[in-house]
Structure 1
Amino acid sequence: MSGSPIVGRTDSRLVELTREQALELLARAPFGRVVYTRDALPAIRPVNHLLDDGLLIVRTRLASQFSTAVQSRSGVVVAYEADDIDIHRRTGWSVVITGIARPVTDPTRITRYEQLLQPWIGSPMDGVIEIEPTLVSGIRLIDNPIPDSSGTPGT
Structure 2
Amino acid sequence: MLQDGDIHVLGRQACLRLLGEVPVGRVVYTRQALPAVLPVSFRLDGDASVVLGTSAGSDLVRAVDGAVVAFEADEFDAVTHSGWSVVVTGRATVVTDPAEHERLSRCGPDSWMPVHDRVFVRIAAELVTGRRLPGGG
TM-score, length-normalised on structure 2?
0.89
Q: How far off is 1:57 after superposition?
A: 0.7
How is 1:142-153 mapped onto 2 (pairs within 5 angstroms)?
A: 142-144=134-136
- Deviation string, structure 1 residues 25-46 (Cα, Å, up to 9, x no partner): 1121111000111001111111
TM-aligned CA deviation for residue 111 of structure 1: 1.5
Aligned letter for 2:122? E
Residue 62 of structure 2 aligns with which residue? 68
User: Are the counterparts in 2 of residues 104 and 110 from structure 1 also a CA contact under 8 Å?
Assistant: yes
The size of the alignment, in residue pairs, is: 132
| Preserved CA contact (<8 Å) 1:59 1:125 | no
Amino acid at match of 1:18: G
Superposition deviation, residue 87 in structure 1: 0.8
Displacement, 1:79? 0.3
SS of residue matched to 1:13: coil
Provide the aligned C-alpha RMSD in A.
Answer: 1.5
Q: Which runs of 5+ in 2 are unaligned?
A: none
Structure 1 outlier segments of 4+, above 3 Å: 122-125
Aligned counterpart, 2:82? 91
CA distance in 2, matches of 1:70, 1:78: 7
How far, CA to CA, are the matches of 2:117 and 2:76 in structure 1? 28
Aligned equivalents of 1:144, 1:125: Cα separation in 2: 47
State the structure with more CA Rg.
1
Change (3 A) 1:87 1:14: same
Q: Distance in 2 between matches of 1:91 and 1:12?
A: 8
Residue identity over aligned pairs, in percent, reads 42
State the Cα distance separating 1:124 from its structure 2 match. 3.8
Farther off after superposition, 135-144 or 79-88: 135-144
Which residue is equivalent to 1:36?
29
Q: SS of 1:137's equivalent?
A: strand
**Residue of structure 2 in register with 1:77 after alignment:** 68
The answer to whether structure 1 residue 126 and structure 2 residue 118 are counterparts is: yes
Q: Residue 17 of structure 2: which of 9, 16, 24 is its match?
A: 24
Matches of 2:86 and 2:106, distance apart in 1: 25
In the other structure, the counterpart of 1:57 is 51
Give the TM-score normalised by the residue count of structure 1: 0.79
Alignment partner of 1:103 out of 94, 104, 107 = 94
Query: Any idea what the Cα deviations from partners look like across 1:104-124, whole Å, max 9, x if unmatched?
Result: 001111111122221112344
Deviation digits for residues 9-66 of structure 1 (CA, Å, limit 9, x no counterpart): xx63210000111111112111100011100111111111111122111101111111
Q: 2:131: which partner in 1?
A: 139
